Amino acid sequence: MDQCNRSKTFIDTNSENNTRDVRIADCRGHIKQLEAENAALQSENVELREWLCNLQEKCDKQEQTISDLTAVISKLQILVDSKHDTLYFLFFNNNGSHYDQDAGGETRIVHFVPGGDTPFGIHLALAPERVTLNSIKTRILGQELRLKNLDYFVKRRSENEIWSETPFYYEKLESSNDVLPNIDGTIVIKLLEN
């Protein structure tokens, strides 16, 4: 009987060992499968990182291009504004003479739009004694103001002794070709709807 018990114990132990071996083999199979999946995910992760790096480089280049274009546009706008004054004067000079480079200068134009108390200013690359209303109209009028009937009033220095308490007054402009009066190189204009 002792031998039977020993056989039974040996069979039970052998069966437990076989079950453990099967479990260990299953675990090792799962580990290998997980390692293979992990390797595949790491490979995809590397590819995604490379794709993201390439995308970031493209975005950086586009941002730099946009920044460069913005700087160029800004410089061109300054150039266009300065050349616009000269060209406009050439086309609308009331006496038909050519622009004299040596007689240059700069005039500051301050204007008030209808219904507004805030002054707006621009600089014109012309000497004050050459500025007419025609030479500045397009610069001071926005698209919506060009469609309206406006009266233009220019600020003048009072030369009348009776008005000693009022050194300045606004006078309505009758002609767009007359040279505008200036006060120390600045022309002040009020626009009113008529």
Condensed to tens digits (0 to 9), the pLDDT of residues 88-100 reads 545 544 444 344 4
The last residue of one of the domains, among 92, 118, 133, is 92
The residue with tokens 């606004």 is 170
How far is 168 from 157, CA to CA, in rounded Å? 5
Residues 6+ apart with CB under 8 A from 6: none
Distance between first and last Cα of the chain:
130
**Average pLDDT, stretch 61-81?**
79
**What's the average model confidence in pLDDT over 28-37?**
88
Write the pLDDT tens digit of every residue in 95-122: 443 444 445 678 899 988 888 888 888 8
* Same structural domain, 2 and 42: yes
Q: Give CA–CA dist 164/22, Å, rounded.
A: 116
Which residue in 136, 140, 145, 153 sits closest to 94, CA to CA?
A: 136
Question: Which residues, including other chains, have CB under 8 Å from residue 185's CB and lie 6 or more apart?
Answer: 105, 106, 107, 108, 128
Last residue of a domain, one of 92, 114, 140: 92
- The reply to whether 9 and 80 lie within a common domain is yes
Residue 136: which residues within 8 A CB-CB, separation 6 or more? Answer: 109, 122, 124, 180, 187, 189
110: containing domain: 101-193
DSSP 54-101: HHHHHHHHHHHHHHHHHHHHHHHHHHHHHHHHHHHHHHH-TT-PPP-G
Contacts of 149 (CB under 8 A, 6+ apart): 193, 194
What does pTM read for this prediction?
A: 0.45
- Asked whether the predicted pLDDT for residue 148 surpasses 80, the reply is no
Are 9 and 44 contained in the same domain? yes
Q: Residue 12's pLDDT is what? A: 59
* Whether 80 and 110 share a structural domain: no
Whole-number pLDDT of residue 180:
93
Q: Within this chain, do residues 15 and 81 fall inside the same structural domain, yes or no?
A: yes
CATH number at 132 reads: 2.40.240.130
Mean pLDDT computed over 64-87: 72
